[in-house]
Structure 1
């Protein structure tokens, strides 16, 4: 199944879920490279033709952490394992419930294989299904899915992490190349994103709410390369294409070629989850063009209202959602939607759309096609990020399952982006590094993280109040010597195994 993703202007285009082979795929088999066996090259041949041997080697050496494996997590894990990443750690401290069995194919039951005879009656198969379900229900969710993932691709190392990683120190995330968090509340996303920033690790967040969902990316500063036929206007190093994207390097093939090709290295800079999800306006290219502003999906203010509601109503897991049967909840949620709509400058959200969204979120039912689309989009973007090929999501993707469309918006505050946001805490010095982190989302983090988050909160409040000057003051950069100690360089390119 294919779906579409649209850019900041709301236009849509093709967006593949997993690598596929183009009709004009070259027939030659790639030559073996150090670090990859002939069997691996044969297994991943179609992918190598699509994104190249070098990118596949980077994917092969990647160590990815996936937090929470519900239906959406199942899709992401499947796609990454089949793509051939080096190691996948599945982190989920929850146990399997009966509801999970209806949306998670990785919790496969023995009755689907050779345990039940092919001539078994429907009653016998149902009895086998019930027995298999009884065996898995109540067991740890990460451990339960690990066996099926290992069977999909034995070359990928699968690790089951049964602890709640939001209670782990920031240094825990240093061991991973990239971190993905699904179906967790804003407080957890905020903590883990802060931790990954301190460890200079790319971060993705995603959730599905019935027919709706989102993907968020904070890659800090990410370089990627694209090769294309050179146009009439040549790209130049240092050229700023958008507020977030800059051309870093341009390499042109020999001038005598019939079709002159150019390989362009570009850099995208990002913001943290806290700033992008709560206080960032729409990009200027949208908010200054009425036609584009009218096309902004009403799901954007609805999602931001939901995240604010969850922050206002922490529960046992900080994950309470508004109840459509509770008049107080309804009134608060509608008020939050209207506040976000006014802040973004988008058209008012229709009452029936708010009602549909609220009902979809309240049920929290996972719809397989929605999980498939979101999981495919996120996994493809992760593969592109690890391989440093193609332009990644920048930075919030909103999915509407009723129209099967994805809209991408670059949501950033009017302050410095990228690694500069790591130097927003005055008086931060090198000794207050990520290695000193000792607490999780439920406790106190290290001084550096506390200052970064405090600065983010102050900046967000000022931006919400419409005071850009106060927002900038809240994140005033520290002296250059301190910035050199605290700001992190761009993520290093993964090295292929030798």
Structure 2
């Protein structure tokens, strides 16, 4: 097991460890061992019984990037490490603060030999807690988290990346088999998702805002396998179950006419990018066409879209700019955005008390441990299913309400082709070359520089817009920039 978690490792050395042996950036970083050992099989026995040996082996060879090691990232990282993922790179360029210690259980853990005895007095426990906090506050967050993750499962390779990955070129993400970004602003999500699309890599985004949160998935085109009892209606390859889901293959286990016939079905889900799904996409027709279902859409969907738009409007700040409930200007702007997003979705107006609760949660209760636990567990399980190609993954936006402990999933897609047809991919070329191919060679020099340099400039939004607009039919491209008009 190799761990890069020392604060004295230079960024260039950390990057060298990431890119390592083979001169360049490999598409994945697979485990070189051909088979699982008996010890590993015994360790992971319960989950192998749950999702099978084949899925466990896929998990064991996966190389995942987890961006931002806050409370939600802690939960996701813990679940993936305990599940036996092959390699996990934790990326966070910020240092631990006193505030982080309140909800992030991977921080401020006493080192071996300094564990407080069971008969310690309250004063001794307090002193030990303060000493542990003093040891970690001010250190890099990725490094601090990686140390504890390594102790949880020494079989997993943990790498601490201390640079801001949103400033890296799109080719940086090619080395990972899957990318998860937590608690970052929309511009960063847009850039990294565009980069993963160009490298043909699955992408997840998630954030928690006090009692609320979301998970977004762009798996481009993802196949998964389910086994079930064969019903009266025979499934056939090519059948389209929904707008996003198609049956690819059907295998029957047993002779026709026998009792208890089983069928193994391979299905394919097609996805949209964050840029197109997070704001310009309407609710699916199956919801829009049924008034009762439309009334039941959670008002958090409009609130989240308003929050993301608010952050875009105030993207000049170094950190995500949240609306303040004590600012009359912020309240007025946010309420206007909620009304705009609600009108576009066609859902009932959002009650004033719900908007107030949301604003208070966003501003005052950024990280709540139980919410991070539930949301992180859902995200980690979906990642495991995606890597193992078992079970139907999230399609494509999950909205979590911690006040009711309910998760609602909505398939948010624009009226255009989905999957690979939405944004051309070119894994074997540089980021500017790939984006240029996707747009038919229409990229400007400024856009090419944005992809080469990373998301340090606002030009990345222009890059994604140019790429997406080139693939949208003429009658729907207006939705990319003016969602309110698209709803008319």
- TM-score, scaled to structure 1: 0.83
Q: What count of residue pairs does the alignment treat as equivalent? A: 435
Does structure 1 retain, via aligned residues, the 8 Å contact 2:103–2:368? yes
Separation in 2, partners of 1:449, 1:324: 32
Structure 1 unmatched ranges of 5 or more:
1-32, 469-498
1:149 aligns with 149
Query: For structure 1, which segment, 268-277 or 457-466, has the greater mean C-alpha deviation from structure 2 after superposition?
Result: 457-466
Separation in 1, partners of 2:402, 2:464: 36
Does structure 2 retain, via aligned residues, the 8 Å contact 1:206–1:214? yes
Separation in 1, partners of 2:486, 2:408: 25
- Establish whether residue 223 from structure 1 lines up as the match of residue 218 from structure 2: no
Distance 1:447 1:337, change over 3 A: closer
1:197 aligns with 197
Does structure 2 retain, via aligned residues, the 8 Å contact 1:166–1:441? yes
Deviation per CA, 1:121-147, whole angstroms, max 9, x where unpaired? 211121111111111000000000111
- Establish whether residue 283 from structure 1 lines up as the match of residue 272 from structure 2: no
Separation in 1, partners of 2:254, 2:449: 48
Q: Secondary structure at the match of 1:231?
A: coil
Separation in 2, partners of 1:170, 1:371: 29
Separation in 2, partners of 1:100, 1:242: 42
Structure 2 unmatched ranges of 5 or more:
1-32, 425-436
- Establish whether residue 464 from structure 1 lines up as the match of residue 484 from structure 2: yes
Separation in 2, partners of 1:76, 1:305: 26
Distance 1:171 1:110, change over 3 A: same
Alignment of 1:335-354 (within 5 A): 335-354=336-355
Q: Secondary structure at the match of 1:158?
A: strand
Superposition deviation, residue 437 in structure 1: 4.3
Separation in 2, partners of 1:204, 1:330: 30
Distance 1:177 1:358, change over 3 A: same
2:30 aligns with none
Distance 1:446 1:346, change over 3 A: closer
Does structure 1 retain, via aligned residues, the 8 Å contact 2:108–2:129? no
Q: Secondary structure at the match of 1:360?
A: helix
- Establish whether residue 71 from structure 1 lines up as the match of residue 54 from structure 2: no
1:258 aligns with 259
Q: Secondary structure at the match of 2:105?
A: coil
Query: For structure 1, which segment, 55-64 or 440-449, has the greater mean C-alpha deviation from structure 2 after superposition?
Result: 440-449
Separation in 1, partners of 2:107, 2:319: 26
Separation in 2, partners of 1:141, 1:365: 17
Deviation per CA, 1:429-463, whole angstroms, max 9, x where unpaired? 99x99999411111356997573156588541254
1:16 aligns with none
Does structure 2 retain, via aligned residues, the 8 Å contact 1:439–1:445? no
Does structure 1 retain, via aligned residues, the 8 Å contact 2:247–2:266? yes
Separation in 2, partners of 1:146, 1:225: 33
Distance 1:97 1:340, change over 3 A: same
1:109 aligns with 109
Superposition deviation, residue 97 in structure 1: 0.5
Q: Secondary structure at the match of 1:172?
A: helix
2:453 aligns with 439
Separation in 1, partners of 2:224, 2:206: 22
- TM-score, scaled to structure 2: 0.85
Distance 1:400 1:221, change over 3 A: same
Separation in 1, partners of 2:367, 2:292: 34
Does structure 2 retain, via aligned residues, the 8 Å contact 1:425–1:451? no
Q: Secondary structure at the match of 1:104?
A: coil
Does structure 1 retain, via aligned residues, the 8 Å contact 2:396–2:412? yes
Does structure 1 retain, via aligned residues, the 8 Å contact 2:275–2:464? no
Does structure 2 retain, via aligned residues, the 8 Å contact 1:301–1:340? yes
Q: Secondary structure at the match of 1:465?
A: helix
Does structure 2 retain, via aligned residues, the 8 Å contact 1:170–1:435? no
Separation in 2, partners of 1:112, 1:320: 39
Does structure 2 retain, via aligned residues, the 8 Å contact 1:195–1:449? no
Separation in 2, partners of 1:177, 1:426: 25
Q: Secondary structure at the match of 2:423?
A: helix
1:427 aligns with 440
Superposition deviation, residue 69 in structure 1: 0.8
| CA root-mean-square deviation | 2.4
Distance 1:426 1:234, change over 3 A: same
2:60 aligns with 60
Does structure 2 retain, via aligned residues, the 8 Å contact 1:321–1:362? yes
Separation in 2, partners of 1:416, 1:242: 14
Separation in 2, partners of 1:55, 1:81: 15
Does structure 2 retain, via aligned residues, the 8 Å contact 1:439–1:446? no
Separation in 2, partners of 1:365, 1:429: 41
